[in-house]
């Protein structure tokens, strides 16, 4: 069997074999329903799972191997092909994780009597710390927004809410007016797997939202979009999209002279890092971010070493008397 090739991954669906079509009906569609109903994946996560699975299905089609006849050697060849086409270790690991999930599904539903992915090993991934903006850079990003445009105050409110509440961009785009409890200082957020959480919202973000609502009330908004907080004002009225927010932040970074490679998720990383540096409990940050596992939140413990040393010298009981002596 030859390694998977890049051009083979992107075969047009119109060129798929009858065998590939059969697999879609018998295996892929039931798996998609399983992910959607049993695991409650969001549409974006579900699409990502299916795109990765399609790479495996395409490979099996090219090699003439039935999915139910896969072996560990088959999967090793597939994994080698991912490396050959230049995917980084993180992408390889993500795809192979999806392969393992698919193999478990085949086993659990009785389609196979063994899991060929049990001995499949993913490449090692180093810890990659997320890009983080300083408070000054956040302020510069917001200051770069022109308030003399129709959408200016909306953009200001969006950036402030992203940073103030640590939202995912999809959570921002789907935020509803009916989920705002501004008098109480909270918003209700629907996160991954349709799980809801209450997140505190800062007075500054509330102020920017109320200024935005003054503008928003002047717009003609179709009934189906009236409950969405953030609405487009160009090329048709609807709730704001993820790509639009991404491009907005890239544009503002250039205007603000910020040379870091940032995205909407950078504001979420910055939110968590600034909370941790301010002394917030890691469990509280986990709850506000909507992380299922505390291990996901622990990536934000990359506090500057010099600041960490200063904190230890200031608060550890073996050091406190030395600090007190130094004051006399």
Active site members? 168, 192, 265, 268, 291, 300
pLDDT of residue 152: 94
Q: Are 137 and 258 in contact (CB under 8 A)?
A: yes
Q: DSSP string spanning 289-327?
A: HT-SSHHHHGGGG---HHHHHHHHHHHSHHHHHHHHHHT
pLDDT of residue 301: 63
Full pLDDT tens readout for the chain, 328 residues: 444 444 444 444 445 677 878 888 888 899 998 888 877 777 888 888 888 888 888 888 888 888 999 999 989 988 888 877 878 888 888 899 889 999 999 998 899 898 988 888 877 765 566 688 989 999 999 999 999 998 999 999 999 999 999 898 989 999 999 999 999 999 999 887 778 888 889 999 999 999 999 999 988 888 899 999 999 877 667 888 888 999 999 999 999 999 988 889 899 888 888 887 777 777 888 888 887 777 666 666 654 444 455 555 565 565 554 444 444 4
pLDDT of residue 180: 95
- Three-state DSSP class for residue 137: helix
pLDDT of residue 283: 81
Q: Are 116 and 38 in contact (CB under 8 A)?
A: no
Taken as a whole, the chain contains a residue count of 328
Helix (H) or strand (E) holding 270: helix 264-277
Q: How far apart are CA 160 and CA 3, in angstroms?
A: 48
Residue 234: C-alpha distances to residues 32, 171, 255, 266 (Å): 35, 21, 21, 26
pLDDT of residue 304: 43
Model pTM? 0.60
Torsion, Cα of 101, 4, 73, 104 (10° steps): 10
Q: How far apart are CA 96 and CA 106, in angstroms?
A: 15
- List beta partners, residue 198: 188
- Three-state DSSP class for residue 28: helix
């Amino acid at each position: 069997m030859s390694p998977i090739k890049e051009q083979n991954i992107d075969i047009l669906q119109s060129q798929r074999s009858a065998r590939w079509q059969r697999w879609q009906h018998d295996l892929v569609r039931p798996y998609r329903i399983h992910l959607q109903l049993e695991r409650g994946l969001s549409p974006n996560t579900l699409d990502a799972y299916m795109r990765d699975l399609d790479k495996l299905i395409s490979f099996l089609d090219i090699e003439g191997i039935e999915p139910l006849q896969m072996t560990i050697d088959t999967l090793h060849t597939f994994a080698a092909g991912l490396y050959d086409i230049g995917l980084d270790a993180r992408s390889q690991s993500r795809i192979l994780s999806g392969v393992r999930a698919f193999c478990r599904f085949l086993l659990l539903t009785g389609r196979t009597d063994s899991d060929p992915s049990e001995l499949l090993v993913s490449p090692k991934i180093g810890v990659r710390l997320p890009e983080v903006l300083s408070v000054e850079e956040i302020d510069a990003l917001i200051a770069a927004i022109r308030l003399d445009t129709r959408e200016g105050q909306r953009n200001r409110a969006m950036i402030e809410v992203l940073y103030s509440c640590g939202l995912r961009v999809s959570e921002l785009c789907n935020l509803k007016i009916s989920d705002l409890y501004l008098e109480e200082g909270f918003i209700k957020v629907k996160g991954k797997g349709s799980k809801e959480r209450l997140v505190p919202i800062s007075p500054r973000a509330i102020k920017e939202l109320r200024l935005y609502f003054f503008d928003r009330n002047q717009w003609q908004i179709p009934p189906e979009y009236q409950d969405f907080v953030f609405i487009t004002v160009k090329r048709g009225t609807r709730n704001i999209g993820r790509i639009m927010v991404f491009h907005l932040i890239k544009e503002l970074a250039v205007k603000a002279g910020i040379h870091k490679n940032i995205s909407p998720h950078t504001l979420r990383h910055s939110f968590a890092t600034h909370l941790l540096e301010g002394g917030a409990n890691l469990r509280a940050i986990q709850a506000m971010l909507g992380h299922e596992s505390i291990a996901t939140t622990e990536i934000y413990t990359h506090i500057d070493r010099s600041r960490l040393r200063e904190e230890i010298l200031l608060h550890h009981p073996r050091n406190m008397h030395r600090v007190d002596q130094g004051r006399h």
